[in-house]
Amino acid sequence: MSNLLSNYQHYFIGGALLVSSGVAAYSTYKLLSLQKSIDANKEATDYESEKVLSEYLVFHYGAPHEVLRYSYGPKDALDFPKRVADECLRVLSTLDKYKIPSRALDIGCAVGRTSFELTKGFKDVIGIDYSHAFVEACNIMKANGSIEYSIQEEWRLMTPCTAVVDSNIDRSKVTFQQGDACNLPLDLGQFGCVVAANLICRLHTPVDFLNRLSSLVAPGGILLITSPYTFSPEYTPKKHMLGGFKDKYGNPVWASETLLKVLGVNFEQIENKEMPFFIRETAHKNQWTVACVTIWKRKE
């Protein structure tokens, strides 16, 4: 009987150890799987990653057949960074250019297409971005006029591409630097044009950025802001969001109204419209988005 009990205890303890080991192994597996998922999600939104850098290079410089390989699709959404610069130059043509500095500031310049295009109307252009990888790519393109990169087709299948700056553009007019849009250097001076394309919904304290703009845009100068208003606590704490929620009284807070409230003191809104843009991720997965575009003139 004692031997039977001893054997039973042995099997019971052994079984318990096996179960415990199995639970531990399963827990470890789940933890590793979760970490891989977190790492994958981080890479998808990490503006220092090679993946995101490549997506922005093709977004800024990709030929139509590289960005949208199909005969159908939203072709009017291509070349968004160039179209942003074109909007600035169009409005500039209606102003007395001699009354404002021939300087432009592209905040959140990403990989620089808008900055380069702005040299067609301004003698001096500064592009600032928070991402070191983006700024490094900008400086390579300024120096060489091009940069090599690869676009993703399916998972690890890649196609080599080359981003090229228009040969008619004087690249020496552009300076790129890394910086925080919510804590910009105090010695930047004033500009005839400031651009913030798809930036404000990715800032940690966007109101700080908006409050700085009146000192950056010279009287009579223009400000162009584009945003799809895709606010997320991943980038902006809820208490700092410009819109997309209800206040304590249950009233909806819209970003467009917040912009009017904050900027209206020093700026006159002269245009409000929408512009689509298209971001290629893989051969078959893409983003089609519509940004709200507001154009402002600094009060004199």
- DSSP string covering 145-175: SEEEEEEEEETTEEEEEEEE--TTS-GGGEE
82-106 average pLDDT score: 96
pLDDT at 284 over 80: yes
- Span 55-91, pLDDT tens digits: 999 999 999 999 999 999 999 999 999 999 999 999 9
111-133 average pLDDT score: 98
Q: Which residues pair with 296 in a beta bridge?
A: 223, 269
- Span 246-266, pLDDT tens digits: 999 999 999 999 999 999 999
Per the prediction, the chain carries an average pLDDT of 88
Output the pLDDT for position 20. 40
**Which H/E stretch holds residue 40?**
helix 2-45
198-207 average pLDDT score: 96
User: What share of the chain has pLDDT > 70, as a percent?
Assistant: 85
Number of other CB atoms surrounding residue 146 within 10 Å: 12
Interstrand relation of 286-298 and 267-280 (parallel, antiparallel or unpaired): antiparallel
- Span 174-193, pLDDT tens digits: 999 999 999 999 999 999 99
Distance CA 169, CA 228 (A): 29
Specify the higher pLDDT residue, 47 or 265.
Answer: 265
What is the reported pTM? 0.84
Output the pLDDT for position 45. 52
Output the pLDDT for position 24. 40
Burial class (CB in 10 A: 0-12, 13-18, 19+), 103: buried
185-212 average pLDDT score: 97
Output the pLDDT for position 47. 86
